[in-house]
Amino acid sequence: MNYRIPLPPGYRVQDVLAFHRRDTESVAEQVGERSLRKGVMLGGVPVVLGVTFDATEAVCEAVCEADIDGKVTPRLRRNIELALDGILGLRIDPAPFCAFAAADPLLGTLVQRQTGLRIVQSATVFEALTWAIIGQQINLSFAIALRRTFILLAGRQHRSGLWCYPEAADVTRLQVDDLTGRKFSRAKAETLLRLAALVAGGELDLDPGPTHSIEDIAAQLLAVKGIGPWTVNYALLRGYGHADCSLHGDVAIRAALQHLLGEDSKPTIPRTEQLLQQYRPHRTMAAAHLWASLADPDKDSP
Residue 298 pLDDT class (50, 70, 90 cuts): very low
d(CA 188, CA 137): 11
- pLDDT at res. 247: 94
Average pLDDT for the chain: 94
Query: 29 forms bridges with which residues in the sheet?
Result: 38
Query: What CATH number has the domain bearing residue 33?
Result: 3.30.310.20
Domain endpoint, select from 41, 71, 92: 92
Kindly report, residue by residue over 36-76, the tens digit of the pLDDT: 999 999 999 999 999 999 999 999 999 998 644 557 789 99
Instruction: Indicate the number of domains in the chain.
Output: 2
Domain endpoint, select from 40, 71, 92: 92
Q: What stretches of the chain adopt beta strand conformation (E)? A: 2-6, 29-31, 35-42, 45-53, 57-64, 156-157, 163-164
Residue 37 domain boundaries: 2-92
- pLDDT at res. 69: 53
Kindly report, residue by residue over 191-212, the tens digit of the pLDDT: 999 999 999 999 999 999 889 9
